[in-house]
Amino acid sequence: MPTVNVLQNRLAELEGGVAACAASSGSSAVAMTMLALAGSGDNFVSSFHVHAGTLHQFNTLAKQMGIECRFVKSRDPSDFAAAIDEKTKFIWVETISNPGNVILDLEAISTVCRSEGVPMICDNTFGCAGYFCRPIEHGVDIVVESASKWIGGHGTTIGGIIVDGGTFDWGQHPDRFPQFHDPKTRLWQRFGCRAFAVRCQFEILRDTGSCLSAPAAQQLLIGLESLAVRCERHAQNTAEMADWLREQPSVAWVSYVGHQDHRDHQGARKYLKRGFGSAICFSLRGGFEAGARFCDALKMVITTTNLGDAKTLVLHPASTTHEHFGPEERAEAGVTDDMIRLSVGIEQIRDIKADFKQAFEQVLQAENVRKSNVGKILLQDEINERLYGPSAREVE
């Protein structure tokens, strides 16, 4: 499809890769990448600090297919090295993790990958198609990304992308990666440094059918035209909001990789350019309830699981995306019960602050707010009930 092809080529260029394969969503791009490299009896190593949907996919879908995911909870590259064996097919990390804001040392982990002969894959959704981060320049072999976020930029279109950096030498590893040396398809001999993209496009996409439609590609291409302008403003607004939030008496803590005292600030300085992205996590004094009430009280800012929209968005992960994890697992993933994830938009900063201010005030006047109701943030069983009817809870 020519429109999809234009999108693939532009994203490959923006990420500094040699070819790309578009997918119907970020989640399908994740699954396709895994299927392109691993099969029953294989394993791969993933940072534990990844998007909840990815974590779930690696924990359940991969397992169902006989593929073992070995999670590494630490930031230490030697822990990644220790998890690799002859059946390991790739290492998976995120640029800035969602929602924990963890930045791993891409170059150090890439050195591990090089010496062990496994490709390194980075979900660069938060790197905004190369605007903030170009992982391939830091030794990453394959970039995966949800295009539904900053690339589209308006929450209107779902899509994903896989960019082949062209850097992994499949020819050196015929035993580990026989799929590139099949005598019928001879992907490595015929396509060389583009062999991985070709495998995704002509084998995995064909078999899974998770292709991006031409109208969706067109929407994403329109989004891409304003990506740089939006990201510039996202970064400015985010830096200002992060500082401002710290000064608010209602706020307990703020996590923003641009702050000098953030645990991964040095990593942010090394790997991010033109700003520190547009994600902040923070919490209100008053914990879970206060956070939920705050989201409920916002008037302009929207509560949703989406990210990277031109509009400012908030989410309370503990009661939504991470609701199905136990409290301990949530804490390990950097999701505390009080945490609010904020995706700062490109509105006038004074309008965002004004909405936050009035919401802080409403939280303080707790008697004006429904006490036991978590408001617009629906728990998963409430969502099920709304979608499938009142029996959904009992069936679960």
Ligand X SMILES: Cc1ncc(COP(=O)(O)O)c(C=O)c1O
Calculate the alpha carbon distances from 190 to 185, 193, 199 in Å. Answer: 8, 10, 12
Pick the closest to residue 291 from 325, 259, 335, 258 (CA basis). 335
Pick the closest to residue 23 from 222, 157, 185, 131 (CA basis). 157
Min dist CB 10 to ligand X, Å, is: 18
Residue number with CB closer to ligand X (237 or 320): 320
Min dist CB 255 to ligand X, Å, is: 16
φ/ψ of residue 72, rounded to 5: -110, 120
Tell me if 51 contacts ligand X by CB under 6 A: yes
Residue number with CB closer to ligand X (119 or 308): 308
Residue number with CB closer to ligand X (81 or 135): 135
Q: How far is CA 262 from the centre of its chain?
A: 19
Min dist CB 58 to ligand X, Å, is: 12
Min dist CB 185 to ligand X, Å, is: 28
Among 148, 167, 237, 283, binds ligand X (CB under 6 A): 148
Tell me if 33 contacts ligand X by CB under 6 A: no
Give the binding range for ligand X (CB under 6 A) out of 24-32, 255-263, 268-276, 278-286: 24-32
Q: For residues 320 and 325, what is the distance between their CA atoms, to the nearest angstrom? A: 10
Among 3, 27, 167, 336, binds ligand X (CB under 6 A): 27
Tokens found for residue 115: 């010496």
Give the binding range for ligand X (CB under 6 A) out of 46-54, 226-234, 253-261, 277-285: 46-54
Give the binding range for ligand X (CB under 6 A) out of 21-29, 190-198, 311-319, 322-330: 21-29
Min dist CB 322 to ligand X, Å, is: 12
Q: What is the number of other CB atoms lying within 10 angstroms of the CB of residue 215? A: 10
Among 19, 21, 22, 25, binds ligand X (CB under 6 A): 25
Tell me if 123 contacts ligand X by CB under 6 A: yes
Residue number with CB closer to ligand X (148 or 167): 148
Torsion sign across C-alpha atoms 290, 296, 300, 303: positive
Min dist CB 52 to ligand X, Å, is: 8
Min dist CB 348 to ligand X, Å, is: 26
Q: For residues 254 and 24, what is the distance between their CA atoms, to the nearest angstrom? A: 34
Enumerate residues 59-98 that contact ligand X by CB under 6 A.
Answer: 94, 98
* Nearest position to ligand X, beta carbon: 26
Give the binding range for ligand X (CB under 6 A) out of 22-30, 37-45, 356-364, 374-382: 22-30
Min dist CB 250 to ligand X, Å, is: 27
Among 17, 77, 127, 160, binds ligand X (CB under 6 A): 160
Q: For residues 191 and 188, what is the distance between their CA atoms, to the nearest angstrom? A: 5
Give the binding range for ligand X (CB under 6 A) out of 6-14, 20-28, 229-237, 348-356: 20-28
φ/ψ of residue 161, rounded to 5: -145, 145
Strand partners, 339: 283
Q: Is 70 helix (H, G, I), strand (E, B) or coil?
A: strand
Residues in the chain: 396
Omega cis (within 30) before 99: yes
Tell me if 146 contacts ligand X by CB under 6 A: yes
* Residue pair 312/354 in contact by the 8 Å Cβ criterion: no
Min dist CB 98 to ligand X, Å, is: 4
Q: For residues 341 and 362, what is the distance between their CA atoms, to the nearest angstrom? A: 19
* Residue pair 62/88 in contact by the 8 Å Cβ criterion: no
Residue number with CB closer to ligand X (110 or 343): 343
Q: Is 300 helix (H, G, I), strand (E, B) or coil?
A: coil
Q: In the sheet that 160-164 helps form, which strands lie side by side, from edge to edge? A: 19-23, 160-164, 142-146, 120-123, 88-94, 43-47, 68-72
Among 8, 101, 125, 219, binds ligand X (CB under 6 A): 125
Enumerate residues 282-321 that contact ligand X by CB under 6 A.
Answer: 307
Q: What is the number of other CB atoms lying within 10 angstroms of the CB of residue 366? A: 13
Give the binding range for ligand X (CB under 6 A) out of 19-27, 72-80, 235-243, 329-337: 19-27
Calculate the alpha carbon distances from 357 to 197, 239, 317 in Å. Answer: 48, 17, 21
> Would you tell me which residues interact with ligand X (CB under 6 A)?
25-27, 51, 53-54, 94, 98, 123, 125, 146, 148, 158, 160, 307
